[in-house]
Amino acid sequence: MAGPFALVDGNNFYVSCERVFDPKLAVMPVGVLSNNDGCFISRSDELKALGVKMGQPLFEVRDLVRRHGVQVFSSNYTLYGDMSRRVLDCLQTFSPAVEPYSIDESFLDLGGVPDRELQDFGHDIRAQVRQWTGIPACVGIGPSKTLAKLANWVAKKRPEHRGVCIMTEKDAQDRILPLVPVENVWGIGRASAAKLAKLGVCTAADLRDMPLPQVRKALTVMGERIVCELRGLPCLDLELVPPTRQGTAVTRSFGHPVTRWEEMREALAGFAARAAEKLRHHGVVAGYAQAFMHTNRFNGGPQHSAAHGVTFPQATGDTRDIVAAAVRAGEAAWKEGFRYAKAGVVLSDLMPCDAVQSALFRSRDPDRSARLMAAMDALNRTLGSGTVRPASVPRKASWAPRAGNMSPCYTTRLKDVPEAKA
């Protein structure tokens, strides 16, 4: 196990992406909404100061949004994904071992950087990410991933650190851990925090100092691992090769309630086609497909929630198989007379394409299928997604999620590239 580890995290990442391309947003309260323009999932500091919470529904704060001129964006994952890649390119110049952890966070192995240089190194990372991409970031450094995460949280919360917090030394840990509420430790959520509170464990330091058997009893093996990491004994290494995934899903809330099977069928077919693309992108096939749908659980109307699955005779990545299975499963789950708010297609039992067990009676020649899918993916990549699609998927979805204020794809679509006049 190497280390120390750094965690680099883009501040208010989606909001920062919007700000890079629209400088007048810099001093305004800005928020980015979840799909379907539902909840706030990224907030500028100004918006946080107005009291808008993470995950808060837009409709609850409409008044405040109007009064304060809050700039509200629909999420633009094409933009955020591309910005994320640029940040990653930048980080890779600082360490040969970088683990992208989420769209806005990466772990770096800083083995080989002398302790006394870590502070400057952290500031260099921050400055270069800012200069190359325009994204403000914070850096936390510690002997384990959990302590690096915790240091990053401190760097973000406490301005006196100027965006970089080093927790490699024991005395820094002893100083800082008592100040961090235990629910801010990576892996401790609401339920665990409530359990710990009953035991009088309130801070990261309290948790670190718990006897292991007691931790195990309260939080199982996960808790034990967290405590070891808090003590500076790394249990988690960088994951430099992404683990093979267990499943993949495409699910959406609808822009309006869906009441007709016809519309649901189109939606499921579209989700299935997209899920099949994701499979092929990862070089895997699926053995099982599930469709689910449910009504709006918030509105007190008649509720229905159902799921149905189909096992493939032979694991497949062929859009035609997956769409057919999803529609069949959906038909079994469908019940007339409800206002459906959301549906999805989940694929599981994934395995690498080359490990597929041949079915005794197969309906398709796998080589022909693979060639057809590759051709279709290539066309959709170059000519735009949805150019070639199953006949059951309409060009424009009637149930499409709301996206009232989407920013341009500044970095990935030629007509959206910003113009500069010199």
Partner DNA sequence: TCTGGGGTCCTAGGACCC
Residues lying near DNA in the complex (CB under 7 A) are found at: 34-36, 38-39, 41, 55, 57, 59, 101-105, 149, 185-193, 220-222, 243, 245-253, 257, 278, 296, 298-299, 341-342, 344, 401
Tell me the two tokens of residue 150: 């915790």
Tell me the two tokens of residue 208: 């670190």
Q: Cα separation of 404 and 37, whole Å?
A: 7
- The position carrying tokens 């931790």 is 215
**Nearest CB to DNA, comparing residues 100 and 408:** 100
**Nearest CB to DNA, comparing residues 57 and 408:** 57
Q: Cα separation of 402 and 14, whole Å?
A: 18
**Least CB distance to DNA at residue 166 (A):** 19
Cβ atoms of residues 109 and 3 within 8 Å: yes
- The position carrying tokens 């899918």 is 373
**Nearest CB to DNA, comparing residues 103 and 370:** 103
Tell me the two tokens of residue 339: 């206002």
DSSP letter at 31 equals E
Name 123's Cβ contacts closer than 8 Å, sequence gap at least 6: 139, 162, 163, 164
Q: Cα separation of 182 and 177, whole Å?
A: 9
**Least CB distance to DNA at residue 342 (A):** 5
**Least CB distance to DNA at residue 60 (A):** 7
DSSP letter at 1 equals -
**Least CB distance to DNA at residue 274 (A):** 8
**Least CB distance to DNA at residue 126 (A):** 18
Cβ atoms of residues 118 and 4 within 8 Å: yes
Tell me the two tokens of residue 92: 């890779």
Asked if the bond preceding 4 is cis, omega within 30° of 0, the reply is: yes
**Least CB distance to DNA at residue 194 (A):** 8
**Nearest CB to DNA, comparing residues 272 and 327:** 272
**Least CB distance to DNA at residue 420 (A):** 32
- The position carrying tokens 């008592």 is 178
**Least CB distance to DNA at residue 418 (A):** 27
Q: How many CB atoms lie within 10 A of CB 387?
A: 12
**Nearest CB to DNA, comparing residues 113 and 227:** 227
Q: How many CB atoms lie within 10 A of CB 327?
A: 21
Which whole-number Å values give the CA distances from 233 to 4, 180, 217, in the listed order? 11, 19, 20
**Nearest CB to DNA, comparing residues 298 and 361:** 298
Q: How many CB atoms lie within 10 A of CB 213?
A: 9
Q: Cα separation of 158 and 173, whole Å?
A: 15
**Least CB distance to DNA at residue 392 (A):** 19
**Nearest CB to DNA, comparing residues 33 and 113:** 33
**Nearest CB to DNA, comparing residues 112 and 243:** 243
- 108: three-class secondary structure by DSSP: strand
**Least CB distance to DNA at residue 412 (A):** 19
**Nearest CB to DNA, comparing residues 172 and 307:** 307
**Nearest CB to DNA, comparing residues 94 and 186:** 186
Tell me the two tokens of residue 373: 């899918």
